[in-house]
Structure 1
Amino acid sequence: MWNALLALQVEPGKVLQVSLPDGQVHTLVETAGADPDGIVVDSGTVYWTTMGEPVSDPDTPGEAGKDFSRRNGGIHALDFDSGTRRDVLAPGTITTGKQLTSDGAGTLYWADREGHRVSSVRTDGSGLTDLVVTPATTGIMGECVGVAVDPARGHLYWTHKGPTKGGQGRILRAGLELPAGDIAESRTDIEVLWSGLPEPIDLHLEGDWLYWTDRGAPPSGNTLNRSPVPPAAAQGETPEILADGFREAIGLALDSEAGIAYVSDLGGHLYAVSLPEGPVADETPREIAAPGPLTGLAGLG
C-alpha cells in the first residue's frame, strides 16, 4: 500500500508530494519546468514530462487560449537518493509531453499531443523511438494524450481525446513492437477499442482491466471509468463509471493492494475513489488535498 502520492501542479510547474495519511502537501521539485503533465516512478527515480511554454492569446482566457504547437517539451528526472536532477530529453526534443509510463525494465513511454505521436526512450536518454505517428491533417482528432503499456502481452494503449467536450474520444491499441515492414506513420496493427467517448485522458492498465479518466461533458464525462481489456479484434465493452463529479479529470494512479484509485483534476483537487472490489464500499470520491491545478499522478510505497 502507498503512503504518498506524487502530483504535478501544472501552474506553476511543481512536483508535489502528498502524504496519504494526513493529506499534507510538500514540494519535491520547486521548478519542474513549463506545464508538467505526466509522471512515473521507476527504480528510485521520478520521471516527468513537460508540455513546454505555450503561446498565449490574451483575448482567449483559459486553456483554449494556449497554443502548445511549438516544439519545446521534454522529459526530466530526479533521483530520490542523491537528489540529482537531469534531463532525459532536453526541452525542445519533443513537442507536448503528456502522460508518461514505464515498462519497469528501463524504457519510458509517453504521448506527445501536438506532436501527434506516441514514443519511447530508455531512461538514460538513448533509443528515442516513435511508435505511433498520426498525420498532421487529422488535427485534434490525431492528438495523443494518455498511454499505458502491457509488456507481458506486448501491447501499447493510448487515447485520442478529440475536441473539447466533443464526444469523439477514442482508446486505441497496437503492438509494442512495430510489425515487420511497417513504420510508425502507417502501422497495420492499430485497433480502435472504444470510440465516441466524451474526452478520455489518462490510462492505467491493471491486470485484465483498463482504467481511464475522462474530462468530457457530464454525465459520462468528468468521470473515472474502467472496462475489461478486449480480446484481439474485439470492441471494448460499455465502460463502467466508478466515480463522477470531477472538475476536468486528468491524473490517475491505482493502488490495487489498497483497492483505491486516485484522481486529480484541473480544478485543483486530489481524490481517493474506492474500487468495487476494495475493502471499503463507498462510491463517493474522498478529497485528499486541494493544492491547485493538477495533472499527472504516481504512487509511492
Structure 2
Amino acid sequence: MSALILPQTENHPVCVLGGGVLGRRIACAWAAGGYDCNIRDPDEEQRASAVRYFETSISTFLAAEGGACGTVRAYDDLETAVKDAWLVIECFPERLDFKVNMCTELERHAPRDAMMCTISSSYVSREALEKVGDETKKGICNMHWTMSPQNKMVELMTDGQTDERVSSFLSQRLAEIGYLPVQARNEPTGFVISRMWAAIKREALMIVSQGVATPEELDSVWAEMYTKNTAGPCKMMDAVGLDTVSFVEQHYAKERNLPTEHTVDYLQRYIDEGKLGTKSSKGGLYPPGTAQETAQNSADHRDALHAPTIYFLDIGLSNSPKDFFNKGRILMGGTDGRPLKTLVDRQHMPDGIAISLNLGKIFWTSMGIPSANDGCVYSTNLDGSDIQVVVPVGNIHTGKQITIDRVNKKLYFCEREGLRVMRCNGDGSNHEVLVQNGDWRNPDEMKDQMRWCVGIAVSPSTGQFYWTQKGYSKSNQGKIMRANIDFPAGQNATNRTDIECVFQKLPESIDLECDEEGHILYWSDRGELPIGNSINRASFSRLRAITDPSVKSMPEEHYDLIARNMHETIGLAVDMKNKYIYCTDLSGTLYRFNLDGGGRRKYYDGEGSFTGLALMHV
C-alpha cells in the first residue's frame, strides 16, 4: 500500500457538503481562518441562504476586526465544488445511505490527496466506507463540530484505517483557525460530547413523554442547576431539529438494543405533524417562535438561529421640509438588540420593499415627487451595493407597495397617482399593467383618491392577487380588491371583468400580506381609531365579492381587528416560520405581535419615519 500524501492547503479551498444550519457555520469558521470555502447543496434556496449567512455573520467568527478572511461560494454541482479542495467535510442528515453514496461520489470526484471528513456523531465513519477503497480510507475520519462560533470545540476520530498523520495534520489546521481539537482515543459511536448529550436527551424525553413534567418545567430545572447553559435540553433539541434527533436515536436504539417508546416513537408524533423544531413554522417541543421570545434577554445563542433579518424603509419625513424628498433610506435591523444599519441612502421617498434571496436582491419602489410622474423601481444587492433601475422613470408614476410572486417569479407593485397595478420580471422585462383605474393624464381622475392603488399581495395557490385602494385620508372609504393572476381571455387592464371588491368602507387600508399556508389575508390600516391604525385579518374562506355599495365591512362580522393603537400604520410582514407579525409606522417604530395580535413588542422607536417592511431568513 502506498503512503498517504498530505495535501497542500495554500490556494486550495475547503469544501462543505450541505449548506444547512451547521454546514454554513463550518464554512464560516474556515473562511474566518483565511481559507476559501465552497458549499455544495442541491437546493437553490439553501445555497443562497448559506452565502447570505456568510455575508451577514462572518464578523462574529473573526477573531479580530480586519483579520484575514476567505470567501464562501455555493455550488449545485459536486464536481465543481470539490475541485482542488484539500479538505471535504460531509454535513448531511444522519442517514447512513446518504453518507455511503456520498463517500463513493467523493472517491470519484475529489482530488486524490484531499482529506475527507464526516460530521456524523451517531455513525462512526467506518460505516460509511463500505464502497470505497483502502487507499481512500487512509485519508478519511470523523470531524464532529459543535455549534460555531460560540462553541469552538471540534472532535476528531479515526475510521479504523485512518493514517495517524491525518489527525495531527487536521488538529494543527484547526488550532490555527482558533478551534480546540479533541481526539477520541478509540472509535466509539457518539464521540465524547454527543455521548454525554445522548444520555441527557433520552432521559429528558422520557420525563416529558410520561407526563412527569412539561418541557418548560424540565428546562427550568436544568437552567437552575446548570446556569452557564441558558438553553435546556428540550430547547436544544428544537434547535438541532427533532428529525435529526430522531435519526440519531434510531441508530443508538438499534446498536444498543434500547427501547424506543419514549424516544423515537415519542418524537415521531411531532415529526408526523411537521413539528421539527425552530426550523419549522409549526414549532417542535416548544410552540413556534418561542426561541425568539428570550433571544433579546441574553438567552442561549440557539434562540436566534431562525430569527429573521428585518429590512425596512425610512421615507425621510422626519427630516426638514426642504430636503425630505431625497432623504429616504433602506435600513437593516433585527429583534436581537443590534443597531440599525443603513444600506442605501439619499432615496426619493421609498415606499415598498421586497427581498429575493434566490436572486440576491432587494427591490424597492420610489414615489419620487408625487406630482411629477417620476416614480421608479430599483434593486440592489443584499449588502446595498450595485443599485440598478428595474422600472425606469416614466413607466411608473408614484411607486407604492411591492411584493414577489415566488412561484411565478414576478414582481407585483402598485402605483398611486398612476391609478395602476403592475408586474414585471426581476430584471424589469415583461412589464405589464394588470389593473387600470383611470387615466393619470386626466387631472380629475388622477386626483380622485378613490382610484389610488397602494398595497399589494399575491396568492399563487388560489391564482389571485389583492390590492388596496385607500380612499381619501381618514375617510372610511378604503377598499380591498382582487383579481385573477391570469387575464380573462381577450381582456386587458381597462376592461377585465374578474375584478372584485372583498372589503369596503375601511378606515384607510394600506399594506397587504397573504399567508399561503393558513389561507389568511392580513392588512394594515392607517385610518382613525377605533378601527383604524390597526392590523387586521380574514381567512380566504370569508372573502366574498361585495356588490352592494352600502355594505360596511365591520370587524367581527367580516374580519378580525387584531391589533391597534400604532401611529400611522404602514408596512406589514408576516413571519410564518416563527409565527409573528411585524409592522412599521410613520412615527419610526417597528412592532412585533403574535399572530393573534397579542405579545406586542416595540423596536427602534422614533428612529425615522418607516414605510415598507420585508423579512429574510438565513
Instruction: Give TM-score scaled by structure 1 length.
Output: 0.89
Q: In structure 1, what is the equivalent of residue 570 of structure 2?
A: 250
Relative to its length, the structure with more strand (as a share) is 1
CA distance in structure 1 between the aligned counterparts of 2:514 and 2:413, rounded to whole angstroms: 14
Give the Cα–Cα distance (whole angstroms) in 2 for the partners of residues 211 and 10 of structure 1: 23
Which of these residues, 44, 48, 68, is aligned with residue 364 of structure 2? 48
CA positional deviation for 1:234: 4.4
Q: Report the count of equivalent residues.
A: 281
**Aligned counterpart, 1:182:** 491
Q: Distance in 2 between matches of 1:233 and 1:214?
A: 20
Paired with 1:196 and 1:80, the residues of 2 have a C-alpha distance of 39
Asked if residue 113 in structure 1 is aligned to residue 433 in structure 2, the reply is no
Residue 156 of structure 1: CA displacement?
A: 1.1
SS in 2 for 1:141: helix
Q: CA RMSD in A?
A: 1.8
Could you say which residue in structure 2 is the equivalent of 1:7? 312
Structure 2 distance, partners of 1:77, 1:219, is: 38
Residue 120 of structure 1, CA deviation: 0.5
Residues 195-210 of structure 1 mapped to structure 2, 5 A cutoff: 195-207=504-516, 208-210=519-521
1:158 aligned partner: 467
Structure 1 segment 61-140 matched on structure 2, within 5 A: 68-80=370-382, 83-104=385-406, 105-136=408-439, 137=445, 139-140=448-449
Alignment of structure 1 residues 160-239 onto 2, 5 Å: 160-207=469-516, 208-230=519-541, 234=545, 238-239=558-559
Q: Shift of residue 23 of structure 1? A: 4.7
Distance 1:124 1:36 in 2: 19
Distance change (3 Å), C-alpha of 1:142 and 1:82:
closer
Q: Which runs of 5+ in 2 are unaligned?
A: 1-305, 317-326, 440-444, 547-552
Amino acid at match of 2:413: W
Distance 2:505 2:454 in 1: 16
**Counterpart in the other structure of 2:348:** 34
Q: How far, CA to CA, are the matches of 1:234 and 1:168 in structure 2? A: 16
What letter matches 1:69 in structure 2?
A: S
**1:261 paired to 2:575:** no
Question: Structure 1: how far apart are the matches of 2:328 and 2:399?
Answer: 13
Structure 1 residue runs of 5 or longer lacking an equivalent are 55-67, 277-281
Task: Give the letter aligned to residue 375 of structure 2.
Answer: G
Paired letter, 1:7:
F
Whether the aligned pair in 2 keeps the contact of 1:243 and 1:284 (CA below 8 Å) is: no
For residue 153 of structure 1, report the CA deviation from its aligned partner.
Answer: 1.8
Distance 2:512 2:575 in 1: 14
- What secondary structure, in the 3-state scheme, does the structure 2 residue paired with 1:216 have? coil
User: Distance in 2 between the 1:170 and 1:296 partners?
Assistant: 19
Supply the distance in 1 between the matched residues of 2:562 and 2:438 (Cα, whole angstroms).
Answer: 34
Choose between structure 1 and 2 for higher RCO, CA contacts under 8 A separated by at least 6 residues. Answer: 1
Change beyond 3 A, Cα 1:233–1:268? closer
SS state at 2:494 partner: helix
How many Å separate the matches in 1 of 2:544 and 2:564? 30
Q: Give per-residue Cα distances to partners, 1:142-170, cap 9 Å, x unaligned.
A: 10000011122210100000011000100
Q: Distance in 1 between matches of 2:345 and 2:603?
A: 21
Greater Rg by CA: 2
Structure 1 or 2: larger helix share?
Answer: 2
Aligned-partner SS, 1:46: strand
**Matches of 1:197 and 1:205 in 2, distance apart?**
18
Aligned residue for 2:179?
A: none
